[in-house]
């Protein structure tokens, strides 16, 4: 319940989950619609959520509208797959930035068609769950954006980013590269619920000094846990979330 340094505003605690998947991600349940997610998150006690679909922000608007109706805040987001197949959570300050970033990433995603019989459907819906279209291009491929490029890139859109589930055995910076390099520039890392963050960072000293955030990475409604994690913010806004993760004044 305190500011983060001299001259910084005093903040309040807000419950968060910055890593949920919607039905746009082929691996997520079909009932992970923006409206269902927003309503479930509100019921579970969240103040702020982020839906981070694989390599797309096409649901950002629908999620923000549905969250608004449910009385919670949605930060526009994406789970980016780097060239090295490392997943990185990208948070954007507003819808315009999210859509521009989404278009940038789309142009760097290979044009491999989705096989819904193998990966599942990639349904785009509106904020009231009305289907808009099915996305034909496979969204879970790797982009040609290298991990050393991501942080400067996301800052150019006013956002921030952190490597996802770094303690997991696949699609994490540690599992895929074997190390974290401070030159990658991220201010924080994401850990899974099961991870002992202190022990993990002792085992991987290059991670020391980075902030930790724990998100659910829920792909189904029942996997959204009751709200527990909190972040101190000057206001419940996407901009304040990004500033807090960046370690700037709230």
Partner 1 sequence: MTVKEFATTLGLKNWTPDLDLDVPITGGYAGDMLSWVMGKAVAGSAWMTIMSNQNVVAVALMTDVACVVLTEGVEPDAALVTQANGRGVPLFTSDLSTYELSAWLGTALAAQ
Residue whose CB is less far from partner 1, 62 or 86: 86
209 binds partner 1 (CB under 8 A): no
Q: How far is the CB of 16 from partner 1 (least distance, A)?
A: 28
- Return the residue of 106, 119, 148, 200 that touches partner 1, per CB under 8 A: 119
- Return the residue of 118, 183, 209, 222 that touches partner 1, per CB under 8 A: 118
Stretch that binds partner 1, among 4-12, 107-115, 151-159, 230-238 (CB under 8 A): 107-115
Please give the Cα distance from 35 to 128 (Å, whole number): 6
Q: Which helix (H) or strand (E) covers residue 61, if one does? A: helix 60-70
Q: Is 187 left (phi over 0), alpha (psi -120 to 50) or beta?
A: alpha
No. of H helices and E strands in the chain? 8, 11
Site mask for partner 1 (CB under 8 A), range 57-86, x = bound: ------------------------x--xx-
Residue whose CB is less far from partner 1, 103 or 112: 112
Question: DSSP assignment, residue 113?
Answer: B
Locate 170 and state its tokens: 């696949």
Q: How far is the CB of 48 from partner 1 (least distance, A)?
A: 30
200 binds partner 1 (CB under 8 A): no
Size of interface with partner 1, in residues (CB under 8 A)? 13
Residue environment code for 76-111, b if the CB has 16+ CB neighbours within 10 A, otherwise e: bbbbbbbeebbbbbbbbbbbebbbebbeebbeebee
169 binds partner 1 (CB under 8 A): yes
Locate 231 and state its tokens: 């972040």
Binding site for partner 1 (CB under 8 A): 81, 84-85, 110, 112, 115, 118-119, 138, 141-142, 169-170
């Amino acid at each position: 319940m305190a500011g983060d340094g001299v001259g910084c505003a005093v903040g309040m605690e807000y419950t968060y989950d910055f890593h949920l998947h919607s039905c746009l991600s082929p691996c997520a349940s079909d009932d992970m619609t923006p409206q269902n997610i927003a309503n479930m998150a509100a019921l579970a006690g969240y103040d702020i959520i982020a839906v981070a679909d694989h390599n797309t922000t096409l649901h950002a608007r629908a999620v923000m509208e549905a969250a608004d109706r449910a009385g919670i805040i949605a930060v526009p987001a994406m789970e980016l797959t780097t060239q090295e197949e490392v997943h990185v959570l990208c948070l954007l300050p507003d819808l315009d930035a999210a859509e521009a970033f989404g278009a940038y990433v789309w142009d760097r995603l290979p044009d491999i068609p989705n096989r819904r019989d193998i990966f599942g459907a990639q349904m785009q819906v509106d904020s009231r769950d009305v289907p808009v279209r099915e996305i034909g291009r496979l969204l879970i491929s790797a982009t040609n954006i290298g991990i050393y490029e991501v942080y400067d890139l996301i800052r150019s859109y006013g956002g921030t980013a952190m490597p996802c589930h770094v303690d997991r055995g696949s699609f994490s910076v540690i599992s895929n590269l074997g190390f974290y390099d401070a030159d990658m520039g991220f201010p924080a890392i994401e850990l899974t619920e099961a991870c002992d963050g202190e022990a993990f960072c002792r085992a991987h000293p290059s991670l020391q000094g980075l902030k930790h955030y724990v998100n659910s990475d829920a792909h189904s409604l029942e996997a959204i846990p009751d709200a527990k994690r909190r972040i101190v913010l000057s206001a419940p806004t996407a901009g304040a979330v990004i500033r807090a993760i960046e370690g700037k004044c709230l």
